[in-house]
Structure 1
Amino acid sequence: MADETKKIVLGSGKLYCTVFSGTIPEDSTIETDANLLGYIQGGATLTYTPTFYEAKDDLGFVYKKILTEEEAVLKSGIMTWNGNTLGRLCSTARVTEDSSKKKRTVKIGGAGNYDGKRYLIRFVHDDPQDGTIRVSVVGSNEAGFEMAFAKDKETVINAEFKAQPHDTEGTLILYEEDMAA
């Protein structure tokens, strides 16, 4: 198989989030306005960290290494958000809406309110020249969040979605890219 031209990836993208149903649906099902978590600031960072165990003798004659665990985390700053966004970022959040008062209320906290939901998080980097890149993980925001309200800066919520296996092979990250014609 010939190696095609490598890409220079420039720019950020969009972040989508929906409750994970057990399978990853088609792109058109995920990438809708209803699933847009919010426009992001600072891009997105995907980190994959393997952990290995090494066994070797003192003289360096015998050696064996095995993979013992893996961790994948997708981080992003969410610049446009509302109470429903907080509901997807916090596993103890309860969101209610009163349309007569035009009011949304979010209650956060209480270990007994843990909902155990897993989300499909999809980052989409759209590049008209080199093609679209999609990064998908299934998990939840395990870093909590912080909101800083400053007079001269937008409030950005930083989320860290820790990936969980989403298929029978133990897949943590699904990376898809358009290939050159």
Structure 2
Amino acid sequence: MAETTETKKREIIVGSCEMYMKEFTGEVPELKTREQIMALCVDANRYGHTKGGCTLTYAKETDELVSDDGKLRRTVLKSDSLKAKLGLFGWDGDAVRALEATASTETSTDGKLRITKIGGLSNDDGKTWLVILHHEDKVAGDSWWVFVGKNTAGFELVYSTDDGTKVEPEFSAESIDGEGHLCYYIEEIKGASASEGGETQNAG
């Protein structure tokens, strides 16, 4: 039997998360098991290590419809959006190429230099990325945010004598499926047996 609101123990989530990206080709892979999710969370899909945590913001814009006499009101959802912002350590030109749609990289003929070219509207590669944010928590259980989108804020680099240089992209999510969802939040259920699951619940 699935846990109810009365019996479920809610853990405190502590710690940061790591970001993985894979070019989105139009279909989200099956994400029904931990193994399927972790198959995406590999070094080949990592473009840096998180520094300073990660901020996810889901925002809504609504309209309030009011009758002339003020006696009848209705609030309707006008639009919604999801943004994810984080800082990345351990980046290089290949990471910049993935994070910035106008960037491209090439290697010098002697193989000793990586040259990254950035900017220019005509250089936008139009790529969209499947992004996975993995939060590892041995007490509360791991969790993942999965969405499709791209970096829409460019980037800012600060070179400092007392801290490492990081890239700070901000991703804006697009619809991840035909139902218009912006993201999936997947979490481990501690103590659940393999036979449990399959229920769809709405908050209420």
For 1:80 and 1:60, locate their aligned partners in 2 and report how far apart those are by CA, in whole Å. 57
Give the 3-state SS of the residue equivalent to 1:135 in structure 2: strand
Equivalent in the alignment of 1:177: 187
Give yes or no for contact 1:91–1:116 (8 Å, CA) kept in 2: yes
For 1:7 and 1:52, locate their aligned partners in 2 and report how far apart those are by CA, in whole Å. 32
TM-score (norm 1): 0.94
Aligned pair 1:154/2:158, yes or no? no
Equivalent in the alignment of 1:42: 52
CA positional deviation for 1:49: 0.2
Equivalent in the alignment of 1:14: 18
- The percent of aligned pairs where both chains have the same amino acid is 33
Equivalent in the alignment of 1:116: 126
Q: Which segments of structure 1 move beyond 4 Å, counting only runs of 4 or more? A: none
For 1:174 and 1:46, locate their aligned partners in 2 and report how far apart those are by CA, in whole Å. 12
Runs of 5+ consecutive residues of structure 1 not aligned to the other structure: none
For 2:22 and 2:108, locate their aligned partners in 1 and report how far apart those are by CA, in whole Å. 23
TM-score (norm 2): 0.84
For 1:180 and 1:109, locate their aligned partners in 2 and report how far apart those are by CA, in whole Å. 46
Query: Over residues 63-121 of structure 1, what are the superposed CA-to-partner deviations in whole Å (9 max), with x where a residue is unaligned?
Result: 11111111100111011100011011111001112473322111001100111100011
Equivalent of residue 103 in structure 1, options 81, 105, 113:
113
For 1:24 and 1:7, locate their aligned partners in 2 and report how far apart those are by CA, in whole Å. 29
For 2:17 and 2:81, locate their aligned partners in 1 and report how far apart those are by CA, in whole Å. 23
* Counterpart mapping for 1:28-177 below 5 A: 28-98=38-108, 100-177=110-187
Runs of 5+ consecutive residues of structure 2 not aligned to the other structure: 30-35, 192-204
CA positional deviation for 1:136: 1.3
Tell which structure's C-alpha radius of gyration is larger.
Answer: 2
Larger relative strand fraction: 1
Give the 3-state SS of the residue equivalent to 1:34 in structure 2: helix
For 2:146 and 2:117, locate their aligned partners in 1 and report how far apart those are by CA, in whole Å. 28
CA positional deviation for 1:58: 4.9
CA RMSD of aligned residues (A): 1.4
Q: Given residue 130 of structure 1, which amino acid in structure 2 is its aligned partner?
A: A
CA positional deviation for 1:150: 1.4
